[in-house]
Structure formats: structure tokens, C-alpha cells
Amino acid sequence: MSFDVTLTKRLGDAEIAVAFAGGGGATVLFGPSGIGKTSILNMVAGLLTPDTGHVRIDGDTLFDAATGVDVAPERRRAGYVFQEPRLFPHLRVRANLLYGANEDSIPGEAIAFLGIDHLLDRWPRTLSGGEARRVAIGRALLSNPRFLLLDEPLSSLDRARREEVIQTIEYIRDIRKLPILMVTHDAAEAERIGTRIVAM
């Protein structure tokens, strides 16, 4: 599966512009905070409308300003893991994972490789940062997405928790073969995870 993305968007006094294309693996948008990386993820997900450009995933056009194509976010099949895990505080981990799960997804497989089976009956407020991030990734995967969007997935984690989440991302990239578009401002993260790096 391939990404083909060319977008521009004016937000206030700043203009965000990006163009990249690539096959499977992990495409990493790398650059300092505040440069518009998250806005690009939101445009790919359909949560923010670009001014110009296009978003094509594996040849399917999700957005094209020139032709007026703008597929609704829920039909783009993007698994989005936000910078904050955004777990539902009133639902235990099991219910969070199953929220929005696609009938074709395999909960047991996702739970096993994420190593979160012992967390299923816990409340989100009792999870560590790394545990919450892995649950958020699991919830995104259970929606049976075509591709995964990761917004600073390692931010605010200590070294041990970061390594847990990095290994999860590498498993998704290398074993599950799910295309990833990830945002980071950390050069070491970009170098380790990125199949290709888009410097901004």
C-alpha cells in the first residue's frame, strides 16, 4: 500500500505545505513542534480540509481539491492514535478496545502482540503512559484500518515505556505490514522507525 500526499493549508499567518509519496513501511514527518505536522495527519484523516492538493492511498483518492473529492473521515479507514491516548475514562480497557471494533478484526491477536491481556479489566486512570498508549494503538488496530496515523506516540514516556511502544510500532510495520504515517520531533525516533523520513 502506498501514500501519495500533496497538501497545502493556510492556518492564520502560516502556510503548511507538504508533498511525499512512498510504499509500505513507516513514513515519518519529522520537524520541530508547531510546524504543522499534526495538521497534516488531520488532513490525511479527513478532520481538516486542505486548501489545495490531494490524498491518495494505494491509488484510491480520499481527497482532491481539483475534482472536489472529499471522502468522509469514517470512510477513509484510518486508524488514528492521537498524541494523548484519549481513552474513554468511564470504560474499562476491554470496552475501550472493542469500541468501534470492526467485525473482521481479531481482538485476541491484537491483545496478544500488544501484551495488554493483563490490563483488560483495568480503568484507564490506573494505566501507565506506555500502557495507555498501547491500548490506544490496539483500539485503532481493531477498527481494521487500511493505514495507521501516529501523532507523537512516544511523547511523555520514560525510556522503558518508550521502548515498549517502539517495539509495538516496529511489529506493526514489519509483521502486520500496516502502512504508518507518523509525526515526531525526535531525530532518533524518526531514524529508528522511519522507512522514509519527510523533513519539515
Beta strands in 12-137 (DSSP E): 14-22, 26-30, 52-57, 60-64, 69-70, 78-81
Domains in the chain and their CATH numbers?
3-199 (3.40.50.300)
Does position 83 have pLDDT exceeding 80, yes or no?
A: yes
Instruction: Give 103's pLDDT tier (boundaries 50, 70, 90).
Output: low
Cα–Cα distance between 200 and 195 in angstroms, integer?
Answer: 16
With contact defined as beta carbons under 8 Å apart, do 69 and 57 qualify?
no
What is the mean predicted confidence (pLDDT) over 31-50?
94
Instruction: Give 65's pLDDT tier (boundaries 50, 70, 90).
Output: very high
C-alpha dist (Å) from residue 37 to 15, 48, 186, 197? 12, 12, 13, 13
Q: pTM, whole model, 2 decimals? A: 0.88
Instruction: Calculate the average pLDDT of the chain.
Output: 89
Does position 43 have pLDDT exceeding 90, yes or no?
A: yes
